[in-house]
């Protein structure tokens, strides 16, 4: 003989499933499928799926809950007559309360977003020990640059602005002359190559002409 306790027609051991489900549906006061009720109550009360289905069907037959069929699924919800009649003034008070709570929720959500933004900024910022370390390193760099600057100022071989300007002007002059002479040489060689039977490369090799390009030299831009 099996030692398993048989579930009663009410859907639970000793018929308790129906009472549990009726109380649950009345407390929640919203539609549930058998699967919803089973998933929400199974862990706390240890109800089996078959017990839940049978209990819901029993409660519907007894008129304690309502049953609606949508396609292949049955939906159960408490009989609203159980909750009594609510006056218009009470409904209006509830609407006002809902409106106030909704406003508070929006305010709290906005505050949470603001705090999340601040937290993100803080997480991306340096910590106090990191800032202290960074300041010390910057002070060392500053001292090093200050010392280097003092050595430069105290040196005797400074270049005056006039000497610097003179060098720049000479560079411009030499580059201009370089460019002029290169243009003249190119025009002359092009004229010779018009009647030369061989290639430009062969001509340069025979005559012994070396170009800037042979030595990877580029005319500076002025």
Per-residue pLDDT tens over the stretch 35-56: 998 988 888 888 888 999 999 9
Q: What is the mean pLDDT of residues 198-216?
A: 88
Angle, CA 34 vertex, CA 32 and CA 35 arms, to 5°: 95
d(CA 90, CA 96): 10
Q: What is the mean pLDDT of residues 205-218?
A: 87
Q: State how far the alpha carbon of 47 is from the alpha carbons of 62, 138, 156, in Å.
A: 21, 69, 98
- Three-class DSSP category at 75: strand
- pLDDT band, residue 107 (cuts 50/70/90): very high
> Whole-model pTM?
0.35
Class of domain 13-83: mainly alpha
What is the reported pLDDT for 4?
A: 37
Residues in contact with 63: Cβ distance below 8 Å, sequence separation at least 6, in sequence order? 79
Would you state the structure tokens that stand for residue 9, as one six-digit string?
A: 């027609």
What is the reported pLDDT for 64?
A: 87
Give tens-digit pLDDT for 117-173. Answer: 988 888 888 888 989 999 999 999 999 999 988 888 787 677 788 888 999 999 999
Task: Return mean pLDDT, the chain.
Answer: 84
Q: In terms of DSSP H, where are the helices of the chain?
A: 16-28, 34-45, 49-61, 88-123, 128-154, 161-193, 200-207
Residue 118, CB half-sphere, CA atoms under 13 Å: how many?
Answer: 6
d(CA 148, CA 146): 5
Q: Is the pLDDT of residue 75 over 60?
A: yes
8 Å CB contact between 75 and 68: yes
Q: How far is CA 109 from the centre of its chain?
A: 20
Percent of the chain with pLDDT over 70: 90
- pLDDT band, residue 86 (cuts 50/70/90): low
Q: How far is CA 205 from the centre of its chain?
A: 65
């Amino acid at each position: 003989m099996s030692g398993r306790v048989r579930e009663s027609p009410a859907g639970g051991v000793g018929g308790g499933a129906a009472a549990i489900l009726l109380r649950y549906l009345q407390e929640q006061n919203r539609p549930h499928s058998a699967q919803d009720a089973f998933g929400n109550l199974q862990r706390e009360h240890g109800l089996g799926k078959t017990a839940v289905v049978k209990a819901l069907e029993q409660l519907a037959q007894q008129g304690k809950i309502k049953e609606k069929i949508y396609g292949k699924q049955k939906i159960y919800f408490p009989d609203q007559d159980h909750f009594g009649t609510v006056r218009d003034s009470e409904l209006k008070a509830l609407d006002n309360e809902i409106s106030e709570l909704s406003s508070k929720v929006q305010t709290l959500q906005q505050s949470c977003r603001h705090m999340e933004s601040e937290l993100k900024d803080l997480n991306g910022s340096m910590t106090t020990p990191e800032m202290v370390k960074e300041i010390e390193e910057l002070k060392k760099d500053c001292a090093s640059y200050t010392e280097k600057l003092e050595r430069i100022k105290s040196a005797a071989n400074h270049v005056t602005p006039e000497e610097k300007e003179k060098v720049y002007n000479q560079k411009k002059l030499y580059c201009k002359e370089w460019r002029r002479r290169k243009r003249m040489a190119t025009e002359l060689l092009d004229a010779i190559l018009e009647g030369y039977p061989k290639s430009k490369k062969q001509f340069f090799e025979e005559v012994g002409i070396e170009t800037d390009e042979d030595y990877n030299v580029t005319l500076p831009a002025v």
